[in-house]
Amino acid sequence: MPEGGPRRLVVWVEYDGTDFRGWQVQPGARTVQGELEQALSTLCGGAVRVVGSGRTDTGVHALGQAAHFDTRSGLSLLKVRLGVNGLTGPDLAVVDCREASPGFHAQHDALGKTYRYRILNRRSPSPLRRSRAWHLRAPLDVERMARAASFLVGEHDFAAFCREQGRPASTVRCLERLEVGREGDEIVIEAAGNGFLRHMVRTVAGTLAQVGRGERAPGSLKEVLASRDRTQAGPTAPPQGLFLVRVDYGPKTPSPGPPEPEEETLDAG
């Protein structure tokens, strides 16, 4: 494989987090970062280090996780995508690959992220969705949940909605959007903001579920925010309902490459 000059490539990755021990590489554990690095190192003919937009926990899924890596490989973008997908398991796929400027950074250049949390709200569980949604039997009042969510929109100190261990120096974040709606027998919570704390979306989901069950008033979330006390918020919802939908880079988003041919294999060309 001929080597060229240094390149920084960006990949957008979709994965089912059920059988991964989260994103970050851990000794003796299967992780998304580890799987990607192994595949890319094999494909590019040398050690590759992958830098993601952020971590996801065990069991959390992604529709559009973003990550960058550096390589001197001359492989086309298409062959990188097809090659990685041929070397990883069926629960992980690179859905896009682009050239980036040398200074692009998947984590530091992120302007915001969108997460989605799904609650299966019916009497019976779903064997087909057991790893895709949090099952709650008791009926949830979506309108009450939406009213409660409105109190969290904007810039606030979200200390009450993140785990205390490893809490950063600043817990102020801006939630640009927090919507609650019903799709069939599921309640979908979608959050978009400039940054999220560890377990923040899952704690918001757990607290909104309490509102939906009538266990707390919608307006009580103002007092929860003001308290900065984790014990005042609801439980941390389980990971299987959470999806990282997309990462926003604004004008720094790498431009798409040339159109892909309708059919091409790794051996083509």
Query: Does residue 57 carry a catalytic annotation?
Result: yes
Closest residue by Cα to residue 69 from 131, 160, 141, 8: 8
Q: At residue 232, what are phi and psi to the nearest 5 degrees?
A: -85, -15
Handedness of CA 118, 124, 125, 128 (dihedral sign): negative
List 16, 19, 57, 157, catalytic entry: 57
Annotated catalytic sites, by residue? Answer: 57
